[in-house]
Structure 1
Amino acid sequence: MKSLNLLLTGVIISTMIALPSFAQQIKSTKGHSETMVKTSLEQMQAYDKEHPAPVKKKKRHNEKKIYPEFSLEGKTVLYNEKGNGQTEMSPKFMDPSPLPDADFSGLEDTGGSIPPDVNGAAGPNHLMVTLNTSFRILDKQGNVISDISIGGFWAGLPGAGNVFDPKIMYDPYEDRWILVEPSSSDVGSSRLFVAVSENSDPTGNWFLYAFDSDPDNQYWFDYPSYGFNKKWITVSGNMFGAGFGYNVLFVFDKAAIYNNAEEVSYTRFSLYDGFTIVPSIVYDPDLEDMYMVNNAGGNSGGNGSLNLWKVTGELGNEEVLDLGLITTPNPWENWIGNNGNFAPQMDTEENINSGDGRIQNLVYRNGTLWCAHHIFLPINNPTHSAIQWWQLATDGTVIQRGRIEDETGLYHYTFPSIAVNAKEDVMIGYGSFSSDQYASSSYSFRYADDPLNEMRDSYQYKDGLAKYVKKFGGDRNRWGDYTATCIDPSDDLDFWTLQEFADLPTGSTDHWGTWWAMINIDDAPLASFEADINIVPTGTATSFTDKTKYDPTEWLWEFEGGSPATSTEQSPQNVIYENSGSFDVTLVATNYLGSNTLVMEDFITVNTTILPEVVFVQTDTLPCVGQVVEFEDLSVYNPNGWQWSFVPDDVSFVDGTTANSQHPKVQFNLATYYEASLTVSNVNGSSTIVKPALIKSGGVMLPFLEDFESKSFNTKSWIIENDDDDKTWEITNVAGNGPGNLAAYVNIKNYGGFEERDRLISPLINLSANEFAFLEFEHAYGQRFAEYTDSLNVYISDDCGQTWKNLLRLGEDGSGIFATVEPSSVEFIPATSNEWCMGAGEEGNCYLLNLTEWAGSANVRIMFESY
């Protein structure tokens, strides 16, 4: 049994004894990320090799079994379908949906989760599958590139081993994968994780962020719904405590996440009159606002209703508007009895759980909104489930509303997901169930010019292979909870859907499976291109990249003033401009359906004055003495010469690089601060950038102060070692030691085993210029029970953390009393100065450690270890 909380603040290393450092209105609050980690697929794979994922059965709270209903009395009605003469849908349109152009396995059942929470997305060159069991990256032919454990993907974030309900999407405007997933169904540790890829390649780098889902620790976050537009990533979720509490909406600064900011701010809204409020995925690079929809009720006064919302405002000053209801006199039921086990299957009386009628996803495309959900029909005594889909104007007008339904009740359809391409063709993927078959994967399709309100006939692309009964000792035969259908960003036309089916059993154990299907859609090209640089030094070159949509097969370029003057390459390289002036560029893109011409007037400017714009980055600014740092030149405007210099100049260029290399590798030989400068030349002249004290070889010099008020461990390069990927060091709000209100914190209340050690390691410290050195830190600590012990150890290393020597051992077992309050079962966060250690030396209970033994040394680190 572990006890409660340990906090550190005011960490000081100095040359003398130092005093502690003091360094309709919808409710919203502001906050920021707790933790940020930059990682890569390679690091994830290495983690998985060292920490094989245990097979675990998913057992988390899930009290809600009946769809919550809210009073609609007094709410604004934006649009009533009955009042506009649309009580009847069009006659059934039964032309067949197109056959898939490709289909293959997504990810198999490993026995570790019900339901799998089926989700995936397509990028330009890859597919990703994100399930409760694990993640998978594939190419578009179905070949597996990598499998990643969930813990391995989120490694480094607190609570990485307790995640569930992953959802992924692709941002085609900035070429990023976006993955969201909650962690922990405990109100005290519930978090929301957000990850984005560094670029379009999911096998490269990822930026991971952790956010406290409820700073008041009253509710935990379940079932994320997501969206994005030009400035926000939005994630909503259902908050549960002793039952359903409210719907929460996080609005994140998308640019900050994409730029791998140390800290990401958000606005958090508490929405008390809606369940599963779904933000929109916005396929419009200019739309400022974001719309949201939820199922407001299936049968209120004989009407079914949606609720339309809008997120608006400037970045950081967002507000949420409840726009009102959209109603139809065609009601439905949102839930069915028998714990939701309603969908029939062959060879067993055990039905499959059909979930409820929540909206599954929302798409904004060409000025309108599209969404889908499954419903139960007829009202009062449902015999089957059907898919209902909507096309809405942003003022709430119902443009189209349709149902995918077998009115005989033989077939049930559940868990839809909808996608809309640039032409407004539509695909809806879903599960199909019947007493005449096993649980299967299906889709329906409509072309943009098909009759209003209708989908083409259902196509079952993956047949179920066996009965499916898997309850893990519960009362629900879980399926879903959701699926994925998306557009291929490579052309904005093709469709992908990932659905669940009943796979073959292993012995007596039934299995689910997931299966992809793709539909290829063609259109005439829409020409587009970009250049490496638009301002070109006279006599030099620029290169062009084709960005044409809809699969062109031929290209004809014309370069006014350029050499060559024309090209038939897809992306011509090294087009030289000999003379000054402004010049047009023309591209004609062609495929078998037609051609499109784009003329960009005065697109290229050529002159004799533009100098290089000098930019460079480096792999490290706090290297150990003798460590190699790699520099990368990112200068623009056709550089052709480089001169690197460092002050002092005691450095070594390694691996064949020199001071004139574009991307040198440099070993720093002294324990000191180095100035770095780079001069870059082109045909017009040269430019220089100087970065004083950029490289702190051997570490930062004294005095060093850390008060954690930057809100991030990364600001000063602290390192966290969290071997079990569970609770670990984080930064939290405190009081009593101001000014300032933050501290490093570890909650060791619920550690599951002995000797689980979490280490907070300082940045590199340089004591080479000091004769004396001391370490002082403030701490606050509260036990849960007097008979149990926790520990805090402090270590020092003078070889960059390769070996450690103990400086201090503290514990409640007699080897060092360090509690600052009396034992209590109440979670401890210090609120007054009396709850912190007071002073150092014989009269106090803070600690002052003499580091003079290491004075004169560089490459020093301090480690705080708790267990």
Structure 2
Amino acid sequence: MRRVTYLAMAAAFGAATSVVAIAGPAAAADNPLVSAGSVRLSGIVATTGPDRIGDPEFPVAREGHDEGEGGEPPATSGPAVRSARVAAAGREVSVTFPGINHRDQRLASNGNQFSLEPPDQALCVGPGHVVESVNTALRVYDKAGHAVTPTIGLNEFFGYTPGINRTTGEFGAFVTDPICHFDPDTGRYFLAILTIDQDPDTGNFTGKNRLDIAVSRTSDPTGDWKLYKLPVQNDGTEGTPDHGCDPIAPADAGPEVTSPGACIGDYPHIGADKNGIYLTTNEYSLFSDGSNGGAAYTGAQIYAISKRQLVAGVDKPTMQMFESPKLGPFRSFTVWPAIAPKGQDSRANGGTEFFLSSTLGDGSETGNTAPSEKRIGVWSLTNTRSLDSATPNLRLANKLVPAARYALPPESVQKPGPTPLADCLNDRSDTFGPGVGCWGLFFDTAPTTTEELSGLDSGDTRMQQVLYADGKIWGALGTAVQVGGQTRAGILWVTVEASVEKGRLAARTDETGYVAVAGHDVSYPALAQTRSGKVVMAATLVGTDHYPSATYTVLNSGRPTVRVISEGVGPKDGFAGYEAFGGGRPRWGDYGAAAMDGDRLWLASETIEQSCTLAEYLTGGIGSCSGTRTSLANWATRVSAVTL
């Protein structure tokens, strides 16, 4: 969840340098994955909450885990690269429509939701439907972009009480980081989230957390789904191994803390081959930073689950877990499993799933505090067909291979425009009484800082969505670049050729390149491939001439052109990043999404789809700007189909 931040306020977290063959997955007998019943999506009675700022949440910002509380690597300007062209997309975009936005997510479940930033976004597309999940909400569309379900809270979908009951004040589970995949081999949707238990009275974390997994019974996502729970606190409870995560100090542990040494299965991602569904997490201490004798960060965790057994609805599907594997001298971090176009997954070596990872992070996870890097990690998991047996025999291997240079990207710079929330916080007029400006909607006393248009968090150098196509592994990650005489955020993409011969992983970098735009920032890539072999990257473009906008770029067609699918219409104006709400990172998006659907690719990116002034913000439903946002945030998502 990469510090999913939420407010509970007034509407308010080449040549190899090393090869490792990793045996020792958790024994099948230790499998904690269990059935959790079923749900019919169309049977959920979804309601939209009232649009009023007078629903108090709570008076302080509440944050989840922040990956990166260790030291950051030294600032660097990044590699010098050539600017890509920018052009408007054309008729190749056959469908485009606004997806779930902050208002939709916040008012779902009868308004019993929190305000969250950024819009963590999942997308999966089957024969008749598009499923989008953002943060704590889910919606299904037809392929013309028409909603066929209301916006449904993920708490309801997975059988939990709402995140916050605004009538009783009772807390439910905290859910975050949705991931989704439609599997063309089985015709099923797979959806998963990270769920953290909260004390119902205080909202404090208890320590127990899990991956909730849902598998559709048919290719119609509005029908029945089978549910599973996979505990990931990894403290020795509920059948999990004990990874020695740093415990909460006894003086800080209230009676609600039932797992004081809990880890957290953060930032989950999903991949698939013919035989398995693969979930990966980054594992941190949930409660502490390493000062109490345990580990603040242990490494990535890899969970391999029998796809056939999930689809069959077996109550306890076979699962193998690989615990905190190393990558050469580094701790593993964001080991992203690949997805493949239909029929292109690797059948060699009894079935092989590939993964990619970077080696830099911000230093607190990998242990690498260098200012930049020129290596990435390639991973293989072989004999995946054994997942269907009573005694699976999987083999995990990894290898460091050269890549072009990458470095921690700077914040993205926004084009100036209306920022009614910032203006509200800065208002020192008598809007709501003598000496009480617009800030009085949120606070008892006037903020002491003057808010300015925030930048956007461009992420870090972790690997983003990974693709296996035509025998190559494609990956992309954020990096600082020198373009147009400035240091900006850009994208490094890379392809790797990999094979496993006699149990040994062989891999080399094939192609690599950058996508960067002078005067602009490009962030949060997601990759997919057309039937004709074109690899397309979805991303956000923001800068001198563009508000946050949804784009696509064909990577394997010479000099890249960033094509704007949907122009943003204003700057991001949300609570994350504003000092009055605690400052911190100006959250934008932890990941976008891309899905393959025959001749069409479906792309999802964060955008801004509304704009209004302070006067409009204070007219009618306060903070809603005529029903286009909430008082605290205005992020949106854009879903598009591209045929190339």
TM-score, normalising length: structure 2: 0.66
- What is the rounded CA distance, in whole Å, between the counterparts of 2:405 and 2:209 in structure 1? 36
Q: Which residue of 2 aligns with 1:181?
A: 193
- Out of 135, 154, 158, the residue aligned to residue 154 of structure 1 is 158
The structure-2 alpha-carbon separation of the partners of 1:317 and 1:427, relative to structure 1 and needing over 3 Å to count, comes to: same
Matched, 1:520 2:643: yes
The structure-2 alpha-carbon separation of the partners of 1:253 and 1:67, relative to structure 1 and needing over 3 Å to count, comes to: farther
- Whether the aligned pair in 2 keeps the contact of 1:469 and 1:477 (CA below 8 Å) is no
Partner amino acid, structure 2, of 1:101? S
Question: Over residues 76-131 of structure 1, what are the superposed CA-to-partner deviations in whole Å (9 max), with x where a residue is unaligned?
Answer: xxxxxxxxxxx999997889865412211111212421112022121111111101
The structure-2 alpha-carbon separation of the partners of 1:66 and 1:376, relative to structure 1 and needing over 3 Å to count, comes to: farther
The structure-2 alpha-carbon separation of the partners of 1:276 and 1:91, relative to structure 1 and needing over 3 Å to count, comes to: closer
Q: Which residue of 1 aligns with 2:277?
A: 233
Matched, 1:350 2:422: no
- What is the rounded CA distance, in whole Å, between the counterparts of 1:516 and 1:398 in structure 2? 32
Partner amino acid, structure 1, of 2:340? V
- Out of 309, 323, 329, the residue aligned to residue 256 of structure 1 is 309
Alignment of 1:157-556 (within 5 A): 161-184=173-196, 186=205, 188-213=207-232, 214=234, 215=240, 216=242, 218-241=262-285, 242=289, 243-271=296-324, 272=326, 273-283=331-341, 284=344, 287=347, 288-297=351-360, 303-313=373-383, 314-315=386-387, 316-328=391-403, 330-336=404-410, 341-347=411-417, 349-378=453-482, 383-394=487-498, 395-406=506-517, 408=518, 410-446=519-555, 450-451=557-558, 454-455=559-560, 457-471=561-575, 473-474=581-582, 475-488=584-597, 492-504=598-610, 506-507=624-625, 509-521=632-644
The structure-2 alpha-carbon separation of the partners of 1:514 and 1:56, relative to structure 1 and needing over 3 Å to count, comes to: farther
- What is the rounded CA distance, in whole Å, between the counterparts of 1:386 and 1:269 in structure 2? 32
1:440 aligned counterpart, secondary structure: strand
Partner amino acid, structure 2, of 1:144? A
Partner amino acid, structure 1, of 2:606? E
Alignment of 1:819-838 (within 5 A): none
Q: Work out the number of aligned pairs and report it.
A: 464
- What is the rounded CA distance, in whole Å, between the counterparts of 1:124 and 1:499 in structure 2? 21
User: Cα offset for 1:435?
Assistant: 3.8
Q: Higher strand share goes to which structure?
A: 1
The structure-2 alpha-carbon separation of the partners of 1:201 and 1:293, relative to structure 1 and needing over 3 Å to count, comes to: same
- What is the rounded CA distance, in whole Å, between the counterparts of 2:70 and 2:214 in structure 1? 30
- What is the rounded CA distance, in whole Å, between the counterparts of 1:320 and 1:405 in structure 2? 38
User: Cα offset for 1:67?
Assistant: 8.7
- What is the rounded CA distance, in whole Å, between the counterparts of 2:523 and 2:492 in structure 1? 10
More displaced 10-residue stretch of structure 1: 32-41 or 150-159: 150-159
- What is the rounded CA distance, in whole Å, between the counterparts of 1:212 and 1:327 in structure 2? 36
- Out of 67, 88, 101, the residue aligned to residue 108 of structure 1 is 101
User: Cα offset for 1:188?
Assistant: 2.8
Q: Which residue of 2 aligns with 1:657?
A: none
Partner amino acid, structure 2, of 1:321? L
- What is the rounded CA distance, in whole Å, between the counterparts of 2:141 and 2:510 in structure 1? 37
Structure 2 gaps of 5+ residues are 1-20, 74-78, 107-114, 164-171, 198-204, 235-239, 243-260, 290-295, 362-368, 418-451, 499-505, 612-623, 626-630
- Whether the aligned pair in 1 keeps the contact of 2:84 and 2:515 (CA below 8 Å) is no
Partner amino acid, structure 2, of 1:222? D
- What is the rounded CA distance, in whole Å, between the counterparts of 2:378 and 2:72 in structure 1? 16
Partner amino acid, structure 2, of 1:332? Y
1:220 aligned counterpart, secondary structure: strand
- Whether the aligned pair in 2 keeps the contact of 1:362 and 1:370 (CA below 8 Å) is yes
- What is the rounded CA distance, in whole Å, between the counterparts of 2:265 and 2:359 in structure 1? 20
User: Cα offset for 1:138?
Assistant: 0.4
Question: Over residues 338-389 of structure 1, what are the superposed CA-to-partner deviations in whole Å (9 max), with x where a residue is unaligned?
Answer: xxx443332354111111111111111121111112211249x971011111
- Whether the aligned pair in 2 keeps the contact of 1:34 and 1:212 (CA below 8 Å) is no
- Whether the aligned pair in 1 keeps the contact of 2:569 and 2:608 (CA below 8 Å) is yes
Q: Which residue of 2 aligns with 1:587?
A: none
Structure number with higher relative contact order (C-alpha < 8 Å, ≥ 6 residues apart): 2
- What is the rounded CA distance, in whole Å, between the counterparts of 1:152 and 1:203 in structure 2? 14
2:572 aligned counterpart, secondary structure: coil
- What is the rounded CA distance, in whole Å, between the counterparts of 1:93 and 1:320 in structure 2? 44
- Out of 25, 43, 65, the residue aligned to residue 28 of structure 1 is 25
1:235 aligned counterpart, secondary structure: strand
- What is the rounded CA distance, in whole Å, between the counterparts of 2:591 and 2:604 in structure 1? 10
- Whether the aligned pair in 2 keeps the contact of 1:107 and 1:513 (CA below 8 Å) is yes
- Whether the aligned pair in 2 keeps the contact of 1:293 and 1:309 (CA below 8 Å) is yes
The root-mean-square deviation of aligned C-alpha atoms, in Å, is 3.3
Alignment of 1:745-764 (within 5 A): none
- What is the rounded CA distance, in whole Å, between the counterparts of 1:258 and 1:68 in structure 2? 43
Partner amino acid, structure 2, of 1:514? T
Partner amino acid, structure 1, of 2:381? V
Question: Over residues 387-433 of structure 1, what are the superposed CA-to-partner deviations in whole Å (9 max), with x where a residue is unaligned?
Answer: 11122111422222121112x3x110000101012321121111111
The structure-2 alpha-carbon separation of the partners of 1:346 and 1:231, relative to structure 1 and needing over 3 Å to count, comes to: same
Alignment of 1:646-795 (within 5 A): none
- What is the rounded CA distance, in whole Å, between the counterparts of 1:262 and 1:192 in structure 2? 16
- Whether the aligned pair in 1 keeps the contact of 2:196 and 2:209 (CA below 8 Å) is yes
Identity value in percent: 21
User: Cα offset for 1:301?
Assistant: 9.2
More displaced 10-residue stretch of structure 1: 174-183 or 370-379: 370-379
Partner amino acid, structure 2, of 1:518? A
Partner amino acid, structure 1, of 2:185? Y
- What is the rounded CA distance, in whole Å, between the counterparts of 2:494 and 2:148 in structure 1? 37
- What is the rounded CA distance, in whole Å, between the counterparts of 1:120 and 1:281 in structure 2? 13
Partner amino acid, structure 2, of 1:392? V
Partner amino acid, structure 1, of 2:124? A
- What is the rounded CA distance, in whole Å, between the counterparts of 1:321 and 1:69 in structure 2? 30
2:494 aligned counterpart, secondary structure: strand
More displaced 10-residue stretch of structure 1: 437-446 or 314-323: 314-323
User: Cα offset for 1:172?
Assistant: 0.8
- Whether the aligned pair in 2 keeps the contact of 1:345 and 1:351 (CA below 8 Å) is no
1:42 aligned counterpart, secondary structure: helix
The structure-2 alpha-carbon separation of the partners of 1:513 and 1:127, relative to structure 1 and needing over 3 Å to count, comes to: same
Partner amino acid, structure 2, of 1:61? G
Structure 1 gaps of 5+ residues are 1-23, 71-86, 522-867
The structure-2 alpha-carbon separation of the partners of 1:274 and 1:436, relative to structure 1 and needing over 3 Å to count, comes to: same
Question: Over residues 219-268 of structure 1, what are the superposed CA-to-partner deviations in whole Å (9 max), with x where a residue is unaligned?
Answer: 01111111011111110011111333221111111111110012123111
- What is the rounded CA distance, in whole Å, between the counterparts of 1:517 and 1:50 in structure 2? 25
- Whether the aligned pair in 2 keeps the contact of 1:107 and 1:129 (CA below 8 Å) is yes
- What is the rounded CA distance, in whole Å, between the counterparts of 1:405 and 1:357 in structure 2? 15
- What is the rounded CA distance, in whole Å, between the counterparts of 2:196 and 2:534 in structure 1? 39
Question: Over residues 165-199 of structure 1, what are the superposed CA-to-partner deviations in whole Å (9 max), with x where a residue is unaligned?
Answer: 00111101111111111111747311011111111
- Whether the aligned pair in 2 keeps the contact of 1:178 and 1:196 (CA below 8 Å) is yes
- Whether the aligned pair in 1 keeps the contact of 2:160 and 2:173 (CA below 8 Å) is no
- What is the rounded CA distance, in whole Å, between the counterparts of 1:281 and 1:68 in structure 2? 33
1:144 aligned counterpart, secondary structure: coil
- What is the rounded CA distance, in whole Å, between the counterparts of 1:26 and 1:52 in structure 2? 54
- Whether the aligned pair in 1 keeps the contact of 2:345 and 2:468 (CA below 8 Å) is no
2:635 aligned counterpart, secondary structure: strand
Q: Higher helix share goes to which structure?
A: 2
2:309 aligned counterpart, secondary structure: helix
- Whether the aligned pair in 1 keeps the contact of 2:178 and 2:192 (CA below 8 Å) is yes
